[in-house]
Structure 1
Amino acid sequence: MRALVVDHSAAGPVRFADVDEPVPSSGEALVEIRHIGLNFGELNYVQQWSAGAVHGHDASGIVLRAASDGSGPPAGARVAVGMAPHAWAERMAVSPASLGTVPEGVDLADAAALGIAGVTPLRVLRTRSLLARSVLVTGASGGVGRFAVQLAALAGARVTALVGSPERAAGLRELGADKVLTEPAGTGDRFDLVLDTVGGPLVAQAWSSLAEGGTIHLVGYSSGQETTFPSGTLFGFGEPRGIATFGDMTPTGGDLTDLLDLMAAGRLSAPVGLRGDWQDVHDAAQALFARKVRGKVVLDVA
């Protein structure tokens, strides 16, 4: 079968290859992949994965054969795959714990946009009550950011979306942002929670706007820059503030189900900024690296 595998050469980050058919264990389903969801991190930091390995973590498709131990969705079910390795192939063997059943009325391509981009902000925003709290989302024009804005607004937060340029602000107010900014300084706002996808100097700037008892959750570092805190800024009185890392790769099935239910109810939309064919994966990756995509990239598996 055909798959996109990790390519460490200058022609990368991925290439097409013929690979062996997956052989599911008793606790795995065999899924025919119809759509894949690209993420900036897994493409930009491809050196972290072994060359030649089937790449990708997010997809959607149809269950060809249910897990033989009786767990998970039956054959024929439409499913979303989230944070599961080796997803960018024509077929994959996957634990039902990483699957969410796609309800009627939800486009299978939209379901492929969930995974890392949807589950990450869901888990971060569940760490505390957000009702009438102030939340800052950095890199809000990306896939994670657009899901984060919607989910924070659904939770009752006052949401500020931070983007890199006015052009990338389009649609964020419609998703629930109360404010859309291109610079964090000078607002006078204090944030109870910051969901940061950018890293670099922006983390230090966000720290200066963090309310007592607030937390910055680091979920990405798309800037690739170092973070330096000016002398004395990490000292303070009052309720402690904190910075939390995020690398939760535990099974996503329950979270995917919650997100898919919100989509079925019309309360959450998939921020697909680029839709195409997986044959054009290199063009899609370059558009993602060049910040030309607002939201997620979803490619159809022919």
Structure 2
Amino acid sequence: MTPLLENGLVVRILSQTLTGPLVRFIARRCPVQALIAAPETVEGFRHADVPEPVPQPGQVLVDVGQVSLNYGEVRHMGAFPAGVVLGYDAAGYVTRAAEDGTGPAVGERVAAFGPGAWAERAVFGTDSVAVVPEGLDLGEAAALPLVGITSLRTLRAAGPVLGRRVLITGASGGVGRLAVQLARLGGAHVIASVGAVQRGAGLTELGADEVVVGLDDIDGPVDVILENVGGAHLVRAWSLLKPGGVLQSIGWASGEPAVFPPNSIFAHGAAKTLQSFGDAASPGADLATLVDLAARGVISVEVGWRDSWKRVGDAIQALLGRQVAGKAVMDID
């Protein structure tokens, strides 16, 4: 039976038909393959067999079919301790429902956010998963969690954007492409800033009113900035902000320090605000909103690279080389 049980589909079917100690016994006999941190290697990661995770009462066990990569997590992969299962974004099928009765049932298609996602099976809190409507590809659903939560929550924190000028820097990335669409849905005049002309492809179709390279050609101040680049870009973006405006500092892709000239923070009129972002707690409700919008075609999930997780090295190089428009998705095959 063991070779068959190593197939996640078989475990899923068994979980739908068997309950109690027998299922737990069967599952625990099956190690799962995962991508783990391996700082001792040149790549910084490797495939390895790990014990199947055991869910807590408020967690579901998910048979993972698709995962996505985020620029920040692959850039800083060396910071993870050896042996830690990598990744945060996943989609798949629930194979064990939460013992406390919360969350989706066995067999439900879900998108999920949480540590240890890059594995054949993973556990997630029931407040960190959302049922995926039929018709939405699970690969697209897997691309949504981190970038979608970031885009949605930073825009929400900036307040209503109807009729306001919203600048999104690093707009060609996963966060940027979703933020452009969500800001447009909110009624904003959207300015998408990219690093090169070719990186701006498709942003007008997603809802950008203006697509600019860098920040020098922006005509007039803006009300809201979602800033993904950091460094000197952040300093320049701050100078474009209207009195009373909000700058959400999301990412630091440049890796450079931000040096503000003397008195450059001072401004007449209503106070300008610079806010940090790092709140990904309990994302289930927001994730449900995002998958619903995607399933109805209101937003487009931009997947610029998709292949087997056996080619994870290629995906990482493509992301670090800025060769991916949107997200990179891996199929757990």
TM-score (norm 1): 0.98
Counterpart residue number, 1:93: 123
Counterpart residue number, 1:26: 57
Alignment of 1:88-237 (within 5 A): 88-127=118-157, 128-237=159-268
The answer to whether the 8 Å contact 1:6/1:12 transfers is no
**Which structure's residues are more often helix, by fraction?**
2
22-31 or 141-150: which moved more?
22-31
CA deviation vs aligned residue, 1:107-129 (integer Å, no higher than 9, x gap): 11100001111110100111200
Is the radius of gyration larger for structure 1 or structure 2?
Answer: 2
Give the share of equivalent positions with the same residue, in percent: 47
- Structure 2 distance, partners of 1:253, 1:155, is 21
CA deviation vs aligned residue, 1:159-178 (integer Å, no higher than 9, x gap): 00000100111100000000
Q: CA deviation at 1:10?
A: 4.8
The RMSD of aligned alpha carbons is: 1.0
Provide structure 1 residue ranges, at least 5 long, that are not aligned to the other structure: none
| Aligned with 2:288 (options 228, 247, 257) | 257
Alignment of 1:54-73 (within 5 A): 54-73=85-104
TM-score (norm 2): 0.89
Q: CA deviation at 1:6?
A: 1.2
**Does residue 262 of structure 2 align to residue 243 of structure 1?**
no
- Structure 2 distance, partners of 1:185, 1:9, is 43
- Structure 1 distance, partners of 2:226, 2:212, is 15
What secondary structure does 2:306 align onto? strand
Provide structure 2 residue ranges, at least 5 long, that are not aligned to the other structure: 1-31
Q: CA deviation at 1:105?
A: 1.2
- Structure 1 distance, partners of 2:244, 2:185, is 22
Alignment of 1:277-292 (within 5 A): 277-292=308-323
Greater length-normalized contact order (CA 8 Å, ≥ 6 residues apart): 1
The answer to whether the 8 Å contact 1:163/1:180 transfers is yes
19-28 or 112-121: which moved more?
19-28
CA deviation vs aligned residue, 1:123-159 (integer Å, no higher than 9, x gap): 0111200000110111000001101101100110000
- Structure 2 distance, partners of 1:243, 1:187, is 20
Q: CA deviation at 1:291?
A: 0.3
The answer to whether the 8 Å contact 1:137/1:162 transfers is yes
